[in-house]
Structure 1
Amino acid sequence: MNSSRHYVIDFDSTFTQVEALDVLGEISLENQPDKDERLQELKSLTDRGMGGELALRESLSLRLDLLKANKNHLAPLIDVLKGKISTSFVRNEAFFEENSDHIYIVSNGFKEFIVPIVKELGIKEENVFANTFVFDDEGKIIGFDKENVLSSNNGKVEQLKALDLKGDVYVIGDGYTDYEIKAAGLANKFYAFTENIERDKVTEKADHITPSLDEFLYVHKMNKAISYPKNRIKVLLLENVHPDALQIMKNEGYNVSLQTGAMDEDELAEQIKDVSVLGIRSKTQLTKKVLDNANRLIAVGAFCIGTNQIDLEECLKKGIAVFNAPYSNTRSVVELAIGEIILLMRNLPDKIAKMHEGNWDKSASHSYEVRGKKLGIVGYGNIGAQLSVMAESIGFDVYYYDLVEKLALGNATKCNSLKELLQTVDIVSLHVDGRKENKNLIGEKQFKEMKDGVIFLNLSRGHVVDIEALKNNINSGKVNGAGIDVFPSEPKTNKENFESSLKGLPNVILTPHIGGSTEEAQENIGNFVPGKIIEYINTGSTTNSVNFPNLQLPILENAHRLIHIHHNKPGIIAHINRVLAANDINIVGQHLKTNETIGYVITDIDKAYNIEVVKELKEIKDTIKFRILY
Structure 2
Amino acid sequence: MVGTTRKYVFDFDSTLTSVEALDVLAEMLLDGKSNKDAVLSEIQEITNLGIDGDISFTESLERRIRLLNAHQNDLDGLVKELRQKISRSIEENKAFFKEYAEDIYVISCGFKEFIDPIVAEYDIPSERVYANTFKFDTTGNIIGFDETNVLSSHNGKIECLKNLNLEGEVQVIGDGYSDYVMREAGIADKFFAYTENVHREKAANNADHVTPNLNEFLFVNDLPRKISYPKNRIKILLLENVHPNAFDNLSEEGFSVELVKHALPEEELIERIKGVHVLGIRSKTQVTEKVLSAADRLLVVGAFCIGTTQIALDAAKKGGVVVFNAPYSNTRSVVELAIGQIIMLKRSIFARSTEIHQGKWFKTALNSQEVRGKNLGIIGYGNIGKQLSVLAEAMGMRVYYYDIEDRLALGNATKCNTLEDLLSVSDVVTLHIDDNKANKNFIGEREIDQMRDGAILINLSRGFVVDIRALVKALKSKKLNGAAVDVYPEEPRSNGDFITELQGLENVILTPHIGGSTEEAQRDIADFVPNKIMDYINSGNTVDAVNFPNIRLPKQNNAHRFLHIHKNVPGIMADINEVLAKYEMNIASQFLSTDSEVGYVITDLDKDYNKDVIKALKSVEHTIKFRVLY
* TM tier, smaller: over 0.9
| Amino acid across the alignment from 1:596 | S
Equivalent pair of 2:16/2:86 in contact (CA under 8 Å): yes
After superposition, where does 1:176-215 map in structure 2 within 5 Å? Answer: 176-215=177-216
After superposition, where does 1:237-248 map in structure 2 within 5 Å? Answer: 237-248=238-249
Equivalent pair of 1:400/1:421 in contact (CA under 8 Å): yes
**Shift in Å, 1:457:** 0.6
SS in 2 for 1:292: helix
**Shift in Å, 1:2:** 4.8
The 2-side partners of 1:30 and 1:439 are apart by 64
1:94 aligns with 2:104: no
The 1-side partners of 2:606 and 2:216 are apart by 24
1:420 alignment partner in structure 2: 421
The 1-side partners of 2:28 and 2:327 are apart by 47
1:129 alignment partner in structure 2: 130
2:615 alignment partner in structure 1: 615
After superposition, where does 1:291-440 map in structure 2 within 5 Å? Answer: 291-440=292-441
2:517 alignment partner in structure 1: 517
After superposition, where does 1:18-29 map in structure 2 within 5 Å? Answer: 18-29=19-30
1:461 aligns with 2:465: no
SS in 1 for 2:7: strand
2:558 alignment partner in structure 1: 558
Equivalent pair of 1:110/1:131 in contact (CA under 8 Å): yes
| Amino acid across the alignment from 2:117 | P
Equivalent pair of 1:539/1:554 in contact (CA under 8 Å): no
1:326-360 alpha-carbon deviations (Å, 9 max, x no partner): 11111110010010011111122222222211122
The 2-side partners of 1:454 and 1:162 are apart by 89
| Amino acid across the alignment from 2:401 | Y
**Shift in Å, 1:84:** 1.0
| Amino acid across the alignment from 1:457 | I
1:457-490 alpha-carbon deviations (Å, 9 max, x no partner): 1101111111112111111111211100111111
1:4 aligns with 2:25: no
2:17 alignment partner in structure 1: 16
Which range moved further: 496-505 or 102-111? 496-505
Which range moved further: 38-47 or 232-241? 232-241
1:394-437 alpha-carbon deviations (Å, 9 max, x no partner): 01111101111000111111111112211221111000010111
1:217 aligns with 2:222: no
SS in 2 for 1:97: helix
The 2-side partners of 1:551 and 1:514 are apart by 34
Equivalent pair of 1:57/1:152 in contact (CA under 8 Å): yes
The 1-side partners of 2:361 and 2:624 are apart by 67
Equivalent pair of 1:29/1:68 in contact (CA under 8 Å): no
Equivalent pair of 1:28/1:70 in contact (CA under 8 Å): no
1:351-403 alpha-carbon deviations (Å, 9 max, x no partner): 22222111222221111111111111110000001001110110111110111
The 1-side partners of 2:449 and 2:596 are apart by 40
Equivalent pair of 1:192/1:209 in contact (CA under 8 Å): yes
1:538-584 alpha-carbon deviations (Å, 9 max, x no partner): 11111111111111112211111111111111111111111111111
Structure 2 unaligned segments of length 5 or more: list them.
none
| Amino acid across the alignment from 2:522 | Q
The 2-side partners of 1:591 and 1:569 are apart by 17
**Shift in Å, 1:443:** 1.2
SS in 2 for 1:269: helix
Equivalent pair of 1:567/1:623 in contact (CA under 8 Å): yes
**Shift in Å, 1:4:** 0.9
Alpha-carbon spacing, 1:395–1:32, altered in 2? closer, same or farther (3 Å) = closer
Equivalent pair of 1:269/1:289 in contact (CA under 8 Å): yes
SS in 2 for 1:385: helix
1:224-274 alpha-carbon deviations (Å, 9 max, x no partner): 111110111111112222222111111111111112222222222211111
The 1-side partners of 2:443 and 2:534 are apart by 39
**Shift in Å, 1:31:** 5.0
**Shift in Å, 1:28:** 2.5
2:535 alignment partner in structure 1: 535
**Shift in Å, 1:95:** 1.0
SS in 2 for 1:172: strand
TM-score normalised over the length of structure 2 = 0.98
1:470-525 alpha-carbon deviations (Å, 9 max, x no partner): 1111111112111001111111112x311211111111111011101111111111
SS in 1 for 2:556: coil
1:482 aligns with 2:463: no
Equivalent pair of 2:579/2:613 in contact (CA under 8 Å): yes
| Amino acid across the alignment from 2:601 | V
Equivalent pair of 2:402/2:415 in contact (CA under 8 Å): yes
SS in 2 for 1:274: coil
1:45 alignment partner in structure 2: 46
The 1-side partners of 2:34 and 2:416 are apart by 72
Equivalent pair of 2:106/2:129 in contact (CA under 8 Å): yes
| Amino acid across the alignment from 2:243 | H
Equivalent pair of 1:101/1:124 in contact (CA under 8 Å): no
The 2-side partners of 1:325 and 1:315 are apart by 18
1:152 aligns with 2:153: yes
1:567 alignment partner in structure 2: 567
1:138-160 alpha-carbon deviations (Å, 9 max, x no partner): 11111111111111111111111
The 2-side partners of 1:476 and 1:622 are apart by 61
How much identity, in percent, do the aligned residues show? Answer: 58
1:263 alignment partner in structure 2: 264
**Shift in Å, 1:126:** 0.8
The 2-side partners of 1:367 and 1:33 are apart by 61
1:42-98 alpha-carbon deviations (Å, 9 max, x no partner): 011111111111111000000000000110101000111111111111111111111
1:164 aligns with 2:165: yes
Structure 1 unaligned segments of length 5 or more: list them.
none
The 2-side partners of 1:498 and 1:536 are apart by 39
Equivalent pair of 2:107/2:157 in contact (CA under 8 Å): yes
The 2-side partners of 1:198 and 1:276 are apart by 24
Equivalent pair of 2:3/2:103 in contact (CA under 8 Å): no
1:287 aligns with 2:277: no
Equivalent pair of 1:399/1:412 in contact (CA under 8 Å): yes
| Amino acid across the alignment from 1:178 | D
| Amino acid across the alignment from 1:112 | E
Equivalent pair of 1:455/1:479 in contact (CA under 8 Å): yes
Q: Give me the CA root mean square deviation.
A: 1.1
The 1-side partners of 2:478 and 2:621 are apart by 62
| Amino acid across the alignment from 2:221 | H
**Shift in Å, 1:27:** 2.1
| Amino acid across the alignment from 2:474 | N
The 2-side partners of 1:396 and 1:263 are apart by 43
Equivalent pair of 1:275/1:294 in contact (CA under 8 Å): yes
Alpha-carbon spacing, 1:30–1:372, altered in 2? closer, same or farther (3 Å) = closer
1:34 aligns with 2:28: no
| Amino acid across the alignment from 1:469 | A
**Shift in Å, 1:32:** 3.8
SS in 2 for 1:273: coil
Equivalent pair of 2:135/2:144 in contact (CA under 8 Å): yes
